[in-house]
Amino acid sequence: MQYSTRINFISDDKEISQSLDAKLIKIDCKNISTKEDLFNKFSKTLQFPSYFGKNWDAFNECFWDMEWIKAKYHIINLNIYLFNIENLLCNESMLEKKKFFGIINSDYFVAPNDEQGNLNFPMNIQLFFNNNEKKYIYSTDVTILWNSL
């Protein structure tokens, strides 16, 4: 199975290294059964800007950019721990699940040059899942989705 180098499986969130230049954000996915739930939960928890359009393209852009988090907390590393994923997007089609897992399994994008001509690189983002949920990922259609990317 091919995962992004940004995908990590851990036993406990205490395994996520903490440093002064990093922030840990935990997202409980237990009640995220629709894409609207997902957009609302992630935009609130990750403090997406008000212009977030609540669609997959906007989610992809905001999820991998996070310049506002970088500026607010003066960090260069963001660790996101997603847990209770068994019911994540359970009321959505496989296509919608594929869109979500495709976004989080990709390497982040590099934004075009900003107005000053400097490269605008997003911050380093690492994603963490519980080892117990790795079995869920391997035994469901999510595996098929990630293998088809």
* pLDDT, tens only, 50-87: 999 999 999 998 998 888 888 898 888 899 999 998 88
Extents of the domains making up the chain:
18-147
- DSSP designation for 113: P
The phi, psi pair for 22, rounded to 5°, reads -130, 155
Q: Which stretches of the chain drop beneath a pLDDT of 70?
A: 1-4, 107-122, 136-149
Please give the pLDDT value at position 31.
96
Please give the pLDDT value at position 2.
55
pTM score, whole prediction: 0.81
Q: How many DSSP H helices and E strands does the chain contain?
A: 6, 4
Domain 18-147 CATH superfamily: Barstar-like (3.30.370.10)
